[in-house]
Amino acid sequence: MTSPSSSDREKVVSKLPAGLQQDLKIRTAQHGIDIQHAVEAGISAWRGLGANRSPIDTAGAKSFSTWLPPGQWDAFKGDCEARGVSLVQGLSQSVQVWLDKNPPPNVQRPTVVRRIIVCNQKGGVGKTAITSGAGQALAEGADLLHPVRISKHFAALLNADQPGSPLDYEDLPGPGLRVLLVDFDPQGHLTKQTGHAPLHLDGDSLTKHMAGEPKGDLRDLIVEVEDPRFGGRLHLLPACTDAFLLDVKLSGVRAREAALERALSPIEHHYDVILVDCPPSLGLSMDAAAFYGRRRPGEEPGNSGVLVVVQAEDSSADAYALLTSQIEDLRGDMGLELEYLGIVVNHYDARRGYIATSSLEAWMAIKDPRVVGVIGDLKEQKEAVRMKQPLLAYAPRCDQAVALRALAREIS
């Protein structure tokens, strides 16, 4: 909540039930307004009522303070006395009036399913962690507040002694989107890290659907990534080791660049966002993934595209050049409107010295595409992988979690 100067408003202190305080905090964040303005509006509305509302249980009310226009609090106290209700009861009813008049906003869903292709043919840069973490952040519930790093402070990391140095945070509601994670890597790291097993080699798989050899409905392969904070909105299409043969199979498929799109199109209407965790490859499978992320007719710019994951070290720069060259070839050869959603610098640790800090500076100097996330190299991610739990469920307030939420908002 903003604290204006006393010349503009006056500070008032009272009590409010803890549940109402939490509801007020969440609802104002959902609507993007200050708590003080919500309380001001609630008191004004309550004072205009023709009769008292039903009493609210104020047992256990806790201290609550805010800032109101001069004179409003004194007038409100007079109204409470005239109506025969306590100050805490009157304030509670006022807050409830505002909550009733301002219900939770509907989740903003894209008109065209968003397709985020997470890639880099260099292995070990953490594509899987970024795919999973961004997907988790997009699926978090809008009825709770989650700590988010304010993205404009990326540059502060350049001067931080360690990746956990204090930066500015704010609590924001989750996007509440329906998300599908697609494990497109035959190594199956995304599948295993979310606590699931890869698909059986002799059964159905995404590879078989792309090759025109399906054994069933693709929806039957999808599993839920379970945690209350995701509310049944986060799903996974597991990997299968037959994807090691995907490039060979695609070589004989008609319009092979569109194979991934043909496979996933029947299930797109179930989701708001589909994130594809690509293998470390520049082969035909990468062509199919890039084609899937192109801008479709009528789709808004920036809705879908390629998210490139790199590290703050020299070999990532070489790999980045190869990847962008392939993307440019696809753009030119096929006339694709294929957009970059940005660059994510992963596994960043300023304690590694000049190589790390100078590399981060070099990445941030690239303005097109720009850096949209800097994720620290901290223990929580490794622990979550070992525990086979989603990071945002295992350590929801860790530095990596709040940075991933910022990334999700940058690309959404």
342-362 pLDDT, tens digit per residue, is 999 999 888 888 888 888 888
Q: Are 403 and 374 within 8 A, CB to CB?
A: yes
Radius of gyration over alpha carbons of the chain, in Å? 25
Q: What is the pLDDT of residue 150?
A: 61
pLDDT exceeds cutoff 80 at 69 = yes
By percentage, how much of the chain surpasses pLDDT 90? Answer: 72
Six-digit token string for 288: 């199919």
Q: In terms of CATH architecture, what is 114-410?
A: 3-Layer(aba) Sandwich (3.40)
Residues near 259 by Cβ (< 8 Å), separated by ≥ 6?
Answer: 210, 211, 250, 253, 288
Question: In this predicted model, what pLDDT tens digit does every residue of 367-411 receive, in sequence order?
Answer: 889 999 999 888 999 999 999 999 999 999 999 999 999 999 999
Describe the crossing of helices 314-334 and 284-292 by its angle, rounded to 10 degrees: 70
> Which pTM was predicted?
0.86
- Chain mean pLDDT for the chain: 90
d(CA 340, CA 117): 9
Q: pLDDT category, 167, cuts 50, 70, 90?
A: low
Q: pLDDT category, 2, cuts 50, 70, 90?
A: very low
ω into 369 cis (within 30 of 0): yes
Is 328 buried (19+), middle (13-18) or exposed (0-12) by CB count in 10 A? exposed
Residues near 317 by Cβ (< 8 Å), separated by ≥ 6?
Answer: 310, 359, 362
Q: What is the pLDDT of residue 7?
A: 59
Say which range, 51-65, 274-288, 290-304, 352-366, has the weakest mean pLDDT: 352-366
Q: Are 63 and 13 within 8 A, CB to CB?
A: yes
Higher pLDDT, 165 or 297: 297
pLDDT exceeds cutoff 80 at 151 = no
Q: What is the pLDDT of residue 323?
A: 85
Q: What is the pLDDT of residue 139?
A: 98
Residue type, 229: R
d(CA 246, CA 213): 12
The number of CA neighbours under 13 Å toward the Cβ of 267 is 23
Q: What is the pLDDT of residue 154?
A: 53
Q: What is the pLDDT of residue 1?
A: 41
pLDDT exceeds cutoff 60 at 253 = yes
pLDDT exceeds cutoff 60 at 98 = yes
d(CA 99, CA 102): 5
**Top CATH class, 10-101:** mainly alpha
pLDDT exceeds cutoff 70 at 313 = yes
Q: pLDDT category, 166, cuts 50, 70, 90?
A: very low
Q: What is the pLDDT of residue 333?
A: 84
d(CA 370, CA 247): 31
Q: What is the pLDDT of residue 19?
A: 94
Three state DSSP letters for the chain = CCCCCCCCCEEEEEEECHHHHHHHHHHHHHHCCCHHHHHHHHHHHHHCCCCCCCCCCCCCCEEEEEEECCCHHHHHHHHHHHHCCCHHHHHHHHHHHHHHHCCCCCCCCCCCCEEEEEECCCCCCCHHHHHHHHHHHHHCCCCCEEEEECHHHHHHHHHCCCCCCCCCEEEEECCCCCEEEEECCCCCHHHHHCCCCCECCCCCCHHHHHCCCCCCCHHHHCEECCCHHHCCCEEEECCEHHHHHHHHHHCCCCCHHHHHHHHHHHHHHHCCEEEEECCCCCCHHHHHHHHHCCCCCCCCCCCCEEEEEEECCHHHHHHHHHHHHHHHHHHHHHCCCCCEEEEEEEEECHHHCHHHHHHHHHHHHCCCCCEEEEEECCHHHHHHHHHCCCHHHHCCCCHHHHHHHHHHHHCC
Q: What is the pLDDT of residue 221?
A: 98
Look at residues 169, 196, 168, 167 and name the one whose alpha carbon lies nearest to residue 181: 196
pLDDT exceeds cutoff 80 at 162 = no
Say which range, 133-137, 303-307, 310-314, 389-393, has the weakest mean pLDDT: 310-314
Q: For CA atoms 289, 184, 116, 300, give the dihedral sign.
A: positive
Domain boundaries, the chain: 10-101, 114-410
Question: In this predicted model, what pLDDT tens digit does every residue of 172-228 receive, in sequence order?
Answer: 999 999 999 999 999 999 999 999 999 999 999 999 999 999 999 999 999 999 999
Q: Which residues pair with 67 in a beta bridge?
A: 11
Question: In this predicted model, what pLDDT tens digit does every residue of 332-343 receive, in sequence order?
Answer: 888 889 999 999
Six-digit token string for 27: 């609802």
Q: What is the pLDDT of residue 168?
A: 67
The owner of tokens 């969440």 is: 26
d(CA 196, CA 219): 16
Say which range, 149-158, 174-183, 261-270, has the weakest mean pLDDT: 149-158
d(CA 28, CA 185): 41
What's the distance, CA 253 to chain centroid? 35
Q: What is the pLDDT of residue 161?
A: 46
